[in-house]
Every structure is written in structure tokens, then in C-alpha cells.
Amino acid sequence: MRLLWPLVFFAFAFAQTPTGEPPPDLPPEVFRIASELRCPVCQGESAAESNAGVSQEMRRQIAEMLRQGKSAEEIKRYFVERYGEWILYAPPKRGINWLLWLAPLIGLLVFGFGFWRYLAEAGRREAELELSDEELKALERRLEGE
């Protein structure tokens, strides 16, 4: 789907790890953590998806920190200290970000309220149009009389 990205950003292009040594072995946990972090040089790719040099280095550092016994939270904090919260693909739940996290609820409430108002009004209009039994009989008599 990413055909539409114009690939003209040579300024920020990336290369395969140029060193002669092979990339490190990575367990699944590394990719799980990396998928929550943004690849800094890419457009819309996480550090788990991208093969940019920075992402490879990030995965290597994640693997190293895991070996040192650091938790996923600590690892994410390490990157936040360097890149800011921009590096997290799920913004932390606080401040203005609540607007985002509560978006599904806001949407359901706002649209639901709209529906409810509409239905209440439409129902009222229908009720106004309905005739009582006496009115109906009176009308029938008039029709028969004519």
C-alpha cells in the first residue's frame, strides 16, 4: 500500500548495516517491543518492520537490554529519553492524548446522541400524525356521509 510514498527522500535514505559483522540473533520478544517503537528515519514503519540501519541498531540495543534483564517498559523509556514520546506508536495515556484514547467512546456517544435525538423527534412527529379512535370514527362518518 505504500506505493504512494514518494521515494525521493535520499536525504534521509538508509543503507544496509555496512559493517562486516552479521546482525545479532534476535528472539521474538525483541520484535514485539520494536513493533511499538517508531523507526525514526522511515515513514509509517515501526522499528520491527523496517530494515533501516537505525532500526537494526535499535533491535540490537533492545536485545542487549533484554539480556541485561531490563523490562519492556524500561527499554521503551530508554528510547523516549532520546527521541521523546514521538518514538512511541501508542501515545501515553495522559493529557491531551486522552482525547485520542477516548475517541471510540466520544464517537459512539456523539453519534449515538445524534441518533437518539433524531429518533425521538421522528417518533414524536409520527405520534402527532396518528389519529385517536374518535377522530378516526368521525372521519369515517364524514366519508360515508359524502
Nearest to other proteins of 73, 146 (CB atom): 73
Residues 87-106 that bind other proteins (CB under 8 A): 87-91, 96-97, 99-101, 103-104, 106
Taking the complex as a whole, how short is the minimal distance between the CB of residue 86 and other proteins, in angstroms? Answer: 4
Nearest to other proteins of 38, 66 (CB atom): 38
**Listed ranges 30-38, 65-73, 136-144: which one lies at the site for other proteins (CB under 8 A):** 30-38
Taking the complex as a whole, how short is the minimal distance between the CB of residue 138 and other proteins, in angstroms? Answer: 23
Residues 37-56 that bind other proteins (CB under 8 A): 38, 40-41, 43-46, 48-54
Does residue 39 contact residue 62 with C-beta atoms inside 8 Å? no
Write the burial class of residue 129 (CB in 10 Å: 0-12 exposed, 13-18 middle, 19+ buried): exposed
Q: Is residue 85 near other proteins by the rule CB under 8 A?
A: yes
Q: Is residue 15 near other proteins by the rule CB under 8 A?
A: yes
d(CA 88, CA 68): 22
* Cβ-Cβ contacts under 8 Å for 62 (sequence gap 6 or more): 30, 33, 34, 75
As given in the structure block, the three cell numbers for residue 36 are: 511499538
d(CA 41, CA 114): 42
